Amino acid sequence: MDTASITNYNEMPQEDYKYAIASQIAYDNYDNKGDLNDTQQKLDGYMENYYLDPEFASENSSLIVSSDGDAILAFRGTRPTNIDDIITDAGILTNQPKTDKVPDRFIEAQRTYEEASRVYSKLEVTGHSLGGTISDYISRKNDVKSVAFNAGETPFSTIDLPLNTQKKAFHYTTNTFDLVSFSNHMYSHFNPIRQVPQVVDADSWLGSHSLDNFLPSKSQMPLSSDPETIIPTGIATASEIYEQPSFIQQQKYPMVENGNNKIIYKKFEKVREKIEINTNNKQLAFCERNPRHRRCLNKNF
């Protein structure tokens, strides 16, 4: 059994916050009993410009997607009151995912990944704890990028899943002992395990496992990926844009180029609405927030 190499970070890399947030959303959607509006509001509070896809929101996973179409499928970790979680954890402890007795939860995750990959060409996976173990499994099986946080692992095994697809699998742990994920250090990984400082209950083993160690601080949220495209509230209403498309022709609104389309973002409180202008046929489309499940009203000008 090989020992994994380790890379230490002084703090969580900002470019990977989105995976930790997606992992948290998987918990949030389960905890609020699938209230998608509440889950979206929580996502808005964590990070701007990402939307929950309701077709892939379940008690075991959630999928968030950016306005550019980049999607992250997050698998939920353990909740002690969920008997299925406990059974799956027992399966991980006894090494079932690395044998021909793959737990049902992993089979379900593979099915969900396959369905989502038919919809999203840019799809990555993530998860925390039990969800991190599933994410790593999906990465190795499908050669897809995974970012896992404190993934559960068993100390009772001398075998590991093949490394041939693990070039895209990344593991984060805290720099303190975590009972659930410490065995990851006993196995070979193509990429070094990334260790970040424990920031939650620094003297507590339980604190070392918390997903909060990998999330941005409250003062950093909501994260914003494209602040330059946000128009200050109050410049115009949707109806004004409809009635006076010359506003857009005069370029009184910030635009970003996307092929033949010019995309304009307007922010109404926490809701981001997108307007697309096709410069070939001079058609204006005012679209709802979700970039895939949107309904657009078209207007020629």
pLDDT tens digits, 173-195: 998 877 676 666 656 677 888 99
pLDDT in the model for residue 160: 59
pLDDT in the model for residue 255: 43
pLDDT in the model for residue 88: 87
42/27 Cα distance (integer angstroms): 11
Instruction: Determine whether 67 is exposed, middle or buried from the number of CB atoms within 10 Å of its CB (0-12, 13-18, 19+).
Output: buried
In angstroms, the first-to-last Cα distance of the chain is 67
pLDDT in the model for residue 161: 58
DSSP notation for 218-246 = GGGPSB-S-GGGPPPTTS--HHHHHH-TH
**Sequence-distant (≥ 6) Cβ neighbours of residue 35 within 8 angstroms:** 29
173/256 Cα distance (integer angstroms): 38
DSSP helix/strand/coil, 111: helix
Q: Which long-range contacts (CB under 8 A, 24 or more apart) does 142-148 make?
A: 142/110, 142/113, 142/117, 143/168, 144/113, 144/117, 144/168, 145/169, 145/170, 146/170, 147/16, 147/19, 147/172, 148/172
29/103 Cα distance (integer angstroms): 22
pLDDT in the model for residue 293: 40
77/70 Cα distance (integer angstroms): 22
Whole-Å CA distances, 185 to 57, 211, 241, 247, 282: 32, 19, 56, 58, 57
User: Phi, psi (5° rounding) for residue 134?
Assistant: -65, -40
**Sequence-distant (≥ 6) Cβ neighbours of residue 187 within 8 angstroms:** 1, 2, 3, 4, 153, 160
| Predicted structure pTM score | 0.73
pLDDT lower than 50: segments of the chain: 163-164, 226-275, 277, 279-301
57/32 Cα distance (integer angstroms): 12
